[in-house]
Amino acid sequence: MAAAAKVSHSRILLGLIFGALVGSLVNFCTTPPAPPALNLEQPEALAAIAGTAALPEPATHPRAAWVGWGVQYVAKPVGDLFMNLLFLAIIPLVFASLALGVTRLGGSSHVGRVGAKTFAYFLVTTAFAAVIGLSLVNALRPGDQVPEAQQKELLAHYAKEAKGKLDAKSDFGIDTFVNIVPKNPLKAFAEKDMLAVIFTAVLVGIALTQIDPTRAAVIIHFLEGVNQITEFVIGLAMKLAPFGVFALIFSTTALFGYQLLIALGAFIVTVLGGLAIHLVVVLPLLVWLLGGMNPLHFFKKISTTLVTAFSTSSSSATLPTAIKDAEENLGVPKAIAHFVLPLSASMNHNGTALFESVTVLFLAQVFGVDLSIEQQIIVLVLSILTATGMAGVPGGSLPLIGMVLVTATNGKVPASAIAIILGVDRILDMCRTTVNVAADMTTAVFVARTERGRTAELSI
Which of 440 and 108 is assigned the larger pLDDT? 440
pLDDT recorded at residue 405: 79
Give tens-digit pLDDT for 26-59.
877 776 655 554 444 455 444 444 444 444 444 4
CB 320 within 8 A of CB 1: yes
Helix orientation angle between 108-140 and 350-366, rounded to the nearest 10 degrees: 30
What structural domains and CATH numbers belong to the chain?
A: 2-27+66-457 (1.10.3860.10)
CB atoms within 10 A of CB 371: 21
Query: Which residue type occupies 319?
Result: L
What gap in Å lies between CA 226 and CA 220, rounded to an integer?
10
pTM of structure: 0.62
Helix (H) or strand (E) holding 111: helix 108-140
Burial of 258 (0-12, 13-18, 19+ CB in 10 A): middle
Please, where are the H alpha helices in 179-318? Answer: 185-190, 194-210, 213-239, 241-256, 259-263, 265-277, 283-289, 295-301, 303-312
Residue closest to 363 by CA, chosen among 401, 412, 417, 432 = 417
pLDDT of 156-193, one tens digit each?
555 555 555 555 544 445 666 677 788 888 888 887 67
**DSSP single-letter state for residue 458:** S
CA distance 454 to 327: 17
Q: What does residue 395 show for φ and ψ, rounded to 5 degrees? A: 75, 10
- The candidate with the shortest Cα–Cα distance to 163, out of 152, 155, 175, 171, is 155
| pLDDT exceeds 80 at position 319 | yes
Report the run of H or E that residue 183 belongs to, with start and end.
Answer: none
Residue whose C-alpha is closest to residue 317's, from 27, 73, 24, 4? 4
Give yes or no for residue 247 having a pLDDT over 50. yes
